[in-house]
Every structure is written in structure tokens, then in C-alpha cells.
Amino acid sequence: MGAVDVSKLNWMTTRMDAALGWARKFSIFQYPFVTACCGMEYMATATAHYDMDRFGAGFPRFSPRQADVLFVVGTISHKMAPVLKRIYDQMAEPKWVVAFGVCTCTGGFYDNYATVQGIDTIVPVDIYIPGCPPRPENVLDGLIKLQEKIAQGEYHRVPQELATRSGEFRVPHRPDAHL
């Protein structure tokens, strides 16, 4: 047997985390948590004209246990906050959160006692897509940025002491909020 010329073989080498990041990047299983008017723009982005499916995010899941990206779309009230937290806790690791619309990002123009002033007080947020409502082009830009984070393996790991399933939830005290 003669020596094999290695230069003529087709080889591809990579690290395992890079391969997993690449695969996850194009298979985004999203859970839409839609509460308000931004839901219409979210649905418009999912149409064939903008084609979210080319990013691997075309088919939403309707169980948080099957999803890895939580799209929070619309205003979140303090009554709805424990539900959002419970849904986030039900998702398997790794998981990402997208804040869709200015009401979700900062409370929007609802600066009152009933509205959460940004969902980052409840769950960690990876991508903010502001706008009232955000344009589909902005949503696609946010989706591309999320894909970059997913490919790099960046996500919020929940510390074990905070990973409680008891259902307890307390809205953080915000002294600047109007009462």
C-alpha cells in the first residue's frame, strides 16, 4: 500500500460548539407571547412577503417546552407578569428572549401603576426591537442579531438559586414609577 495524499481528501474540521451554534441559528423555535397591538405587525412579519422562514423562524411553537426563543409582543401588565415568568421558566435551556415593541421594551407611553416598565424587570432580554409598532424590516434585523448571538452560544444562564418552580413572583419596586 502506498502513502495516501491527504491534500486530495475532502476534510472539514470544526469545534462542536461552533457546529451546534450554526445548527441552532437556523432552527429558531419561537413561542409568541402576544398581548397587544404589536401582534398585528408580528403577524405581518411572518407572512410570505418578509419570509421569516428563510431565517429558520417560520413556524411558531405553541408550547413553551418546545420553544427556545420567547417573543414577548405588546404591553405587559403587573397581573400578566407572573404568567410571563412562568412561561419563561418552562422553557428548556438554552433559551433567548426578544422584546418586541416599545411597550415591551420600556412600558411605552403607559407610565402607570398597572404596566410593567420593561420586561427586563421580569425575565432577561437578549434582543430589544423598539417601535410602535416596529417595522418588519426592524424585526428581521433583530432576528439576524439574535441569530448571531445564538451562533456564538450567548444566552442567559439562570442561576440555580433563582430557578424556582414555586410560582412565586414579585414585581421589583421601582421608586420612579407613578402610583
> 155-171 pLDDT, tens per residue?
666 544 444 444 444 44
**What is the chain's mean pLDDT, rounded?**
81
What is the SS3 assignment for 21?
helix
User: Bigger pLDDT: 174 or 148?
Assistant: 148
Strands 30-34 and 69-73: parallel
Whether 9 maps to a domain, the answer reads no
Per-residue pLDDT band for 176 (boundaries 50, 70, 90) equals very low
Whether 118 maps to a domain, the answer reads yes
Cβ proximity of 140 and 100 under 8 Å:
no
Whether 101 maps to a domain, the answer reads yes
User: Bigger pLDDT: 21 or 13?
Assistant: 21
Whether 92 maps to a domain, the answer reads yes
Share above pLDDT 90 across residues of the chain, in percent, rounded to a whole number: 40
Given a cut of 80, is residue 24 above it in pLDDT?
no
What pLDDT does 116 receive? 93
Burial of residue 95 (CB within 10 Å: 0-12, 13-18, 19+) is buried
What distance in Å separates the CA atoms of residue 84 and residue 169, rounded to the nearest whole number? 10
Classify residue 83 by its DSSP letter: H
Number of CB atoms found within 10 A of residue 64's CB: 18
Whether 165 maps to a domain, the answer reads no
**pTM of the complete model:** 0.77
What pLDDT does 121 receive? 92
* DSSP string across 24-82: HHT---EEEEE-STHHHHHHHHTSTTT-GGGGT--S--SSGGG-SEEEEES--BTTTHH
Strands 69-73 and 127-129: unpaired
Per-residue pLDDT band for 13 (boundaries 50, 70, 90) equals low
Q: How many domains does the chain have?
A: 1
Per-residue pLDDT band for 78 (boundaries 50, 70, 90) equals very high
What distance in Å separates the CA atoms of residue 102 and residue 36, rounded to the nearest whole number? 12
What distance in Å separates the CA atoms of residue 158 and residue 94, rounded to the nearest whole number? 10
What pLDDT does 141 receive? 92
Whether 20 maps to a domain, the answer reads no
What pLDDT does 39 receive? 86
For the residues 21-43, what does the mean pLDDT come to? 84
Range(s) of the domain holding residue 108: 27-152
What distance in Å separates the CA atoms of residue 4 and residue 52, rounded to the nearest whole number? 46
What pLDDT does 160 receive? 46
Whether 45 maps to a domain, the answer reads yes
What pLDDT does 79 receive? 94
Which tens digits make up the pLDDT trace of 107-148? 888 888 899 999 999 999 999 999 998 998 999 999 999 989
Supply the CATH number for residue 93's domain: 3.40.50.12280
What distance in Å separates the CA atoms of residue 104 and residue 42, rounded to the nearest whole number? 13
For the residues 74-87, what does the mean pLDDT come to? 94
What distance in Å separates the CA atoms of residue 167 and residue 32, rounded to the nearest whole number? 21
Whether 34 maps to a domain, the answer reads yes
